[in-house]
């Protein structure tokens, strides 16, 4: 379908429902609490796609020593296919040197975005660095990225909703759906 054409939600193929996501996010938060307890932790949201996952995840964490920050990466542009070129539009504002850092991402696909960000953060001598992703999609993986917390594993398909977009559309859908890009 052309990017300019917005499909009705009833015509999209459901992949993960709002309820499935909510359950999995609570489970992930519990896993993360199990690792960090109340250790000071900087949780970094990768804008824009992870915004909704991040906001749900942090509200399920019990850690009393959280700091929140944001980076903005972009790689796809208007295309639905991956690009090796990652643009680092916005950096964190907190000094993460010597801190535990958890990156929160919506989807790891080719792995280029996270390979880039992990490299950037590792160079800042953080105390520890882990990665939580809502979706691990192996279809186009090109870079070996260690995923510490994974919500769902998906073999293939272009998905939208719950923060994920197709040409900036569909991010606000409460569930995740498969779409067939043009």
- What amino acid positions are annotated as catalytic residues? 109
Q: List the one residue from 76, 120, 148, 157 that touches ligand PRP (CB under 6 A).
A: 76
Q: Residue 44 CB, nearest distance to ligand PRP (Å)?
A: 12
Q: Does 161 bind ligand PRP (CB under 6 A)?
A: no
User: Closer to ligand PRP at the Cβ: 48 or 99?
Assistant: 48
8 Å CB contact between 163 and 50: yes
Q: Does 120 bind ligand PRP (CB under 6 A)?
A: no
For the beta carbon of residue 125, count every other beta carbon within 10 angstroms.
10
What beta strand segments (E) does the chain contain?
A: 13-16, 41-47, 66-74, 87-90, 100-108, 128-137, 149-154, 158-160, 176-179
Give CA separation, 42 vs 52, 118, 133, in Å: 17, 14, 16
d(CA 181, CA 140): 16
Least distance in angstroms from the C-beta of 58 to ligand PRP: 17
| Residues binding ligand PRP: number (CB under 6 A) | 18
17 to each of 13, 102, 136, 161, 178, how far by Cα in Å?
A: 11, 25, 17, 10, 12
Chain positions 77 to 116 lying near ligand PRP, rule: CB under 6 A, are 82, 105-113
Per CB under 6 A, the list member of 18, 20, 74, 80 interacting with ligand PRP is 74
73 binds ligand PRP per the rule CB under 6 A: yes
In the complex, minimum distance from the CB of residue 53 to ligand PRP, in angstroms, rounded to a whole number: 10
User: Contact positions toward ligand PRP, by CB under 6 A?
Assistant: 46, 48-49, 73-76, 82, 105-113, 165
């Amino acid at each position: 379908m052309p990017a300019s054409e917005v499909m009705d939600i009833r015509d999209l193929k459901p992949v993960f429902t709002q309820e499935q996501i909510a359950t999995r996010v609570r489970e992930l938060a519990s896993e993360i609490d199990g690792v960090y307890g109340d250790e000071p932790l900087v949780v970094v949201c990768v804008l824009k796609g992870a915004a909704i996952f991040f906001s749900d995840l942090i509200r399920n964490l019990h850690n009393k020593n959280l700091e929140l920050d944001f980076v903005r990466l972009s790689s796809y542009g208007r295309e639905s296919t991956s690009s090796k070129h990652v643009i680092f539009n916005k950096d964190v504002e907190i000094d993460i040197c010597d801190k535990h850092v958890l990156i929160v991402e919506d989807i790891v696909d080719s792995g280029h975005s996270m390979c880039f960000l992990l490299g950037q953060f590792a160079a800042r001598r953080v105390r520890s660095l882990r990665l939580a992703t809502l979706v691990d999609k192996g279809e186009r993986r090109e870079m070996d990225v260690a995923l510490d917390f994974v919500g769902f594993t998906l073999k293939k398909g272009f998905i939208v909703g719950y923060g994920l977009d197709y040409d900036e559309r569909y991010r606000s859908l409460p569930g995740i759906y498969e779409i067939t890009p043009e």
